[in-house]
Amino acid sequence: MTAVRIDPIQFEVFKNLFVSVAEEMGVTLCRTGFSPNIKERLDYSCAIYDAEGQTIAQGDHMPVHLGAMPLSVTAAIEHAPMEPGDVVILNDPFRGGTHLPDITLVSPVFVGSGTRPAYYVANRAHHSDVGGMTPGSMPLGREVYQEGLIIPPIKLVRRGEMVDDVLAMLLANVRTPDEREGDLTAQLAANRVGETRLREIVTKYGVEMVAGYAVALQDYTERVVRATVSQVPDGVYEFQDWLDDDGFSDRRIRIHVALRIDGDRAEADFSDSDPQTTGGVNANLAITLSATLYAFRCLVADDVLYNAGIGRVVNVVAPEGSIVNARRPAAVAGGNVETSQRITDVILGALAKAVPDRIPAASQGTMNNVTLGGRDPRTGRSFAYYETIGGGMGGRNGRAGLSGVHTHMSNTRNTPVEAIEHYLPVRITRYGLRIGSGGSGEYAGGDGIVREYEVLTETAVTVLSDRRKHPPYGARGGQPGQRGRNTLVSDGVEQEIAGKASLTLSAGQRLRIESPGGGGYGRRSTKDVA
């Protein structure tokens, strides 16, 4: 490829062009999706990649998806070589997936007279059910096979034609096939938009210029991240935190990092973390990479793209068979949503020892996952629903934490009450902030959320949550946020239930989720206390 002279104004133009492609893919997916999880909660991510599957740009979507997706794109390239019009589908957590409900579609983009893809576009969306032990496919399982249908990299579309046998096989293994087909169709539409926009950009600017600026953007991100890391004092900074349990044992699960800063390079070594567990809080390597790179991106003050340049600066050591790099067939449903949050907390905790003024207290540290499923008496059809619940953001230097928001590895909306009650035989009887749950400090942590579901028919419920035993930590003398709490209400009698629980509710019973508050930042002065 001929070297392209980089013009700073054109550089900004291309930076925004590439991001706009990913963002438009996301808008398409939102507007054409069928399920409330995609249309209302925006549980999806979109990005564009170069010919080797390295990220060029991504939308402002889900950090836990986006940091892991390059491994799925690479797996698709290696195991299912693509021709024009092909689309590869996969969700295998041990080939770059996160957990089974997150289905990824990868499409090649051919430009000019090229005989191999010049780019790839991909999106990942959380499907409300992909089979498995319980509705919602987030069970308390002991192995990945219990969590739903595993899809290796295979072609869903070949040369522009749907592979009907593959689609039929997928839909035969889920509880809500019409909704799944609708969401998959929306994902296909999103990728088509991405392909079209990239081809338009190449037509306007030329093959060489577009490719040159794609490389320049990756290189620029690398330089900026290196400059940021070089401002962190050299040394080894250790930190540890715990997951409450794995749903089968009361034993807490340790995640430890030794963060080594050496000039403009960093290494996150998780070798002293606990082994993988029986229950589904195991993280695969893709999740650990995603959370670690996200934490370092948070250090960067400049407006740079989150792309492959970050991974050139930060090395991750995660021993196979550990909680942060589990071996097949480990159960992983909660690794994506819960362990990713704790890995983030641990990396930020280590960085706080090096640059305390720049790192906030811990946010809620959980996604408070709730799945509901059964048969809707209004239609006689099966329903399966999934959502996460926001909580408190940690206080930070100069500002209090926000209340009732999704933080760190989650970036979704809180599903509107009206949407839930429209789609499901469920009534939301309480929804508001959990006042006073944020940790006190010079800058207080944000408050969590109280959300109470009353089921109107017999409903299978699974809750995957954390920070019910170990609260979100404070920073620089700030107090921890309050722990979360889950409660079953039956005939006016309240019974606290475990952070990870599977149960069947009868009509009229209620489930209350109280999410954690964020930790406080800085010690409150005696004058403030008085």
Give residue 530's pLDDT band: very low, low, confident or very high (50, 70, 90): very low
Alpha carbons 494 and 56: distance in angstroms, whole number:
51
In this model, does residue 225 exceed pLDDT 90?
Answer: yes
Question: Residues 484-517: pLDDT tens digits?
Answer: 999 999 999 999 999 999 999 999 999 999 999 9
Task: State phi, psi for 264 to the nearest 5 degrees.
Answer: -105, 20
| Residue-level pLDDT at 519 | 98
What does the block give as tokens for 65? 């998806």
| pLDDT value at residue 399 | 97
Residue 2 scores a pLDDT above 70: no
On whether the CB atoms of residues 488 and 494 are closer than 8 A, the answer is yes
Burial class (CB in 10 A: 0-12, 13-18, 19+), 173: middle
DSSP 8-state assignment for residue 405: B
pLDDT band for position 527 (50/70/90)?
A: low
pLDDT-based confidence at 257, cuts 50/70/90? very high
pLDDT band at 1, cuts 50/70/90?
low
Structure tokens at 374: 């059964």
Tens-place pLDDT, residues 418-444? 999 999 999 999 999 999 999 999 999
CA 28 from centre of chain: 20
Per residue in 68-114, pLDDT (tens digit) is 899 999 999 999 999 999 999 999 999 988 999 999 999 999 998 88
Q: Average pLDDT, whole number, for the chain?
A: 95
Q: Please report, rounded to a whole number, the percentage of residues in the chain having pLDDT higher than 70.
A: 99
Do residues 370 and 511 make contact, with C-beta atoms less than 8 angstroms apart?
Answer: yes
Q: Is the distance from CB of 426 to CB of 456 less than 8 angstroms?
A: yes
Q: Is 475 in contact with 352 (CB distance < 8 Å)? A: yes
* Torsion angle defined by CA atoms of residues 140, 144, 148 and 153, in that order, rounded to the nearest 10 degrees: 150
Amino acid 526: pLDDT: 53
Question: Using one digit for the tens of pLDDT, what is the confidence trace for 280-309?
Answer: 999 999 999 999 999 999 999 888 888 999
State residue 259's pLDDT score: 98
Q: How confident is the model at residue 528 (pLDDT cuts 50, 70, 90)?
A: low
Confidence band (pLDDT; 50, 70, 90) for 276?
A: very high
Phi, psi of 197 (to 5 degrees): -65, -40
DSSP 256-280: EEEEEEETTEEEEE-TTSPBP-SST
Of 43, 66, 29, 70, the residue nearest 192 (C-alpha): 29
pLDDT at residue 529 tops 60 = no
Helix axes 285-299, 207-230, angle to 10 degrees: 80
Predicted confidence (pLDDT) at residue 192 exceeds the cutoff of 70: yes
pLDDT in tens, 112-158: 888 899 999 999 999 999 999 999 999 999 999 999 999 999 999 99
